[in-house]
Amino acid sequence: MIKTAQSYKQTDLTDQKFDLIVIGSGISGMGVAAIMAKEGQKVLMLERHYTIGGYTHVFKRPGYEWDVGIHYLGMMKDPKRFEYQLWHYITDGAMQWEPMPKCYDKIIIDGKQYDFLAGPEAFTQQMKQYFPDPKDQESIDQYMVLLKKASQENRLYYAERMLPSFWSRIFGNMMKKGFRPFAERKTIDVLKEITDNPTLIAVLTGQYGNYGEPPAKSSFGMHCTVVNHYMHGACFPVGGCRQIADSVCKVITGNGGQVLSNAEVIEIVVKNNKAIGVRMADDKVFYAKKIVSSAGTYNTFTRLLPGQLQLKHAVQEKMKGLKRSTSYMCLHIGLADTTSNLKLNKSNYWIYKGTDHDQSVANYVSNPRKANFPVVYISFPSSKDPTWEERYPGKSTIEIITMAPYKLFAEWEGERWRKRGDDYNALKEEFSQRLLEELYVVEPQLKGKIDFYELSTPLSTRHFMNYESGEMYGLSPTPERFAHKFVRVQTPIKNLFLTGQDLICAGVLGALSSSVFTTSVLLKRNGQSMIEKRVRKELNLTDD
């Protein structure tokens, strides 16, 4: 049997020299490690958490298991699409995907439900049923045209991140031209050009929680990228999200790589402006020819890079205009009955009060204990995984997510996990009860059926995921972030490279795609066409 991850504490590899060290084991780090290990590189992936997978990891309590950062992915069933081929490549075909129902998201605004249906035609028809006014119908058509154009233009824009700064100055504008009117404008500004109906805007942006910023803050390019990702339907990993880390790590270690958990990097070791290794929390050093960080822009540049190099490269100055994304809380719920007895949905709910998402966020941020939640997202993971009943007979799970201003929990940031005291626990309980009330409005049959619940807060994210303000999606997806030039595969330090959700965009696929960009730069070849060719050959795919 192939060994996957090992604990840092039980392994000593300091006598070895590596071709590549990957900091962090999120999907982007795992993607880089798997692709490079398959190229015969000696890879070491270091993860600070006790478990591998970054936001794709799962956690358990007696009798239950929950996902942390995956509730659904864009449809993964078409082997001719690169998304499918990429997953196939990094897992050696081990992942299987269960389609969600045709209606994958239910947007509920002031009690009225709007279903998001798979497929652009079905989606358009459904929206037109909700908005029969000819003016709105025309706006919906215009919106669909914009989404299509965005999907055609975004690739070159994102690919520009692979260029070194010098070449970016020469070719950057040309590559970014097509998608710039999407990426570098606010969602609300574009939508207001096509409609003045606030309900239509609220419905079309009803998945904004997938990127974390409401329409007056988010980049329209980010909005389009996420909406297009789910437009052909959604799916869920068969066997649960744990399958992801298990299967990618098998590929890494099966190709001679090493994967260590409990392995916190505290510094990138740099000599003559060249990254040569990483220093661990216990002061041990691992050396490698190249280092890739998937630990996020803030961690990489403001924590792991030695102070004098931060000054030398004017990191603070260059990061101006970037912001951390929103923080969140999640109520993980366990029920001691089957999903069918409990009549649990497979579709997700996005619940709103009022049509002005920006105003709702502002009200909540200024008074989170009194104002309505700006968005409540409810997912039923046990009903999405066809193997759940076999793995956890007679049990079901639910996850409820909403925003959580970090400042509300900041006073406990110095306290240890599970030792934050009664006031912290009371605050958690207050929010848990509020979130349960939201659940009972849409699923009243669940009242009295809850067996277990536990709320994670921004401090949980800070503690386990190392996002300092508990941020959900790395960098905030604002137009300024997309216009920004600093975050790119190649850093100002030779042999230090970036990967991860900050490079392209948030979302598991956004982060995984970044690993193809990063490995393309490392290998000096087009990673996408390399993977495409190999998978097409392996699966005997023809061009038609």
Ligand X SMILES: Cc1cc2nc3c(=O)[nH]c(=O)nc-3n(C[C@H](O)[C@H](O)[C@H](O)COP(=O)(O)OP(=O)(O)OC[C@H]3O[C@@H](n4cnc5c(N)ncnc54)[C@H](O)[C@@H]3O)c2cc1C
Q: Which of 265, 275, 376, 378: binder of ligand X (CB under 6 A)?
A: 265
Q: Which is nearer to ligand X, 29 or 405 (CB)?
A: 29
Mark 102-121 with x for binding to ligand X (rule: CB under 6 A) and - for no binding.
Answer: --------------------
Please spell the DSSP secondary structure of 131-162, one letter per residue. --SHHHHHHHHHHHHHHHHHHHHHHHHHHGGG
Q: Can residue 327 be called a binding residue for ligand X (CB under 6 A)?
A: no
Q: Can residue 427 be called a binding residue for ligand X (CB under 6 A)?
A: no
Q: Can residue 295 be called a binding residue for ligand X (CB under 6 A)?
A: yes
Q: Which is nearer to ligand X, 31 or 195 (CB)?
A: 31
Positions 480 through 539 that interact with ligand X (CB under 6 A): 500-501, 506-509, 511
- Please state, in angstroms and rounded to a whole number, the distance separating the CA atoms of residues 59 and 532: 33
Q: Which of 260, 465, 521, 535: binder of ligand X (CB under 6 A)?
A: 465
Q: How far is CA 250 from CA 3, 34, 181, in A?
A: 7, 9, 42
Please spell the DSSP secondary structure of 55-83, one letter per residue. GG-EEEETTEEEESS-S-EE----TTSHH
Query: Whole-number minimum distance, CB 370 to ligand X, in Å?
Result: 24
Query: Whole-number minimum distance, CB 485 to ligand X, in Å?
Result: 20
Q: Which of 36, 43, 44, 46: binder of ligand X (CB under 6 A)?
A: 46
Q: How far is CA 509 from CA 6, 30, 87, 134, 440, in A?
A: 26, 13, 9, 36, 32
Query: Whole-number minimum distance, CB 265 to ligand X, in Å?
Result: 4
- Please state, in angstroms and rounded to a whole number, the distance separating the CA atoms of residues 308 and 280: 19
Q: Which is nearer to ligand X, 140 or 361 (CB)?
A: 361
Q: How far is CA 108 from CA 114, 282, 350, 355, 464, in A?
A: 6, 50, 6, 10, 32
- Please state, in angstroms and rounded to a whole number, the distance separating the CA atoms of residues 331 and 218: 25
Q: Can residue 302 be called a binding residue for ligand X (CB under 6 A)?
A: no
Q: Which of 21, 29, 224, 331: binder of ligand X (CB under 6 A)?
A: 29
Q: Can residue 257 be called a binding residue for ligand X (CB under 6 A)?
A: no
Nearest residue to 409 (alpha-carbon basis) of 395, 387, 425: 425
Residue in the block written with tokens 């998001």: 116
Query: Whole-number minimum distance, CB 297 to ligand X, in Å?
Result: 10
Residues 6+ apart with CB under 8 A from 513: 86, 158, 504
Query: Whole-number minimum distance, CB 451 to ligand X, in Å?
Result: 22
Q: Can residue 380 be called a binding residue for ligand X (CB under 6 A)?
A: no
- Please state, in angstroms and rounded to a whole number, the distance separating the CA atoms of residues 338 and 384: 13
* DSSP H or E run through 237: strand 234-237
Q: Can residue 33 be called a binding residue for ligand X (CB under 6 A)?
A: no
Q: Can residue 47 be called a binding residue for ligand X (CB under 6 A)?
A: yes
Cα of first residue to Cα of last residue in the chain, in angstroms, is 39
C-alpha torsion angle, residues 304, 308, 309, 315 (rounded to 10):
80
The interface region with ligand X, picked from 70-78, 106-114, 354-362, 411-419 by CB under 6 A, is 70-78
Count of residues binding ligand X (CB under 6 A)? 38
Q: Which is nearer to ligand X, 23 or 249 (CB)?
A: 23
Q: Which of 401, 439, 455, 504: binder of ligand X (CB under 6 A)?
A: 401
Q: Can residue 299 be called a binding residue for ligand X (CB under 6 A)?
A: yes
- Tell me which residues touch ligand X (CB under 6 A): 23-29, 46-49, 54-56, 69-73, 264-265, 294-295, 299, 328, 330, 401, 465-466, 472-473, 500-501, 506-509, 511
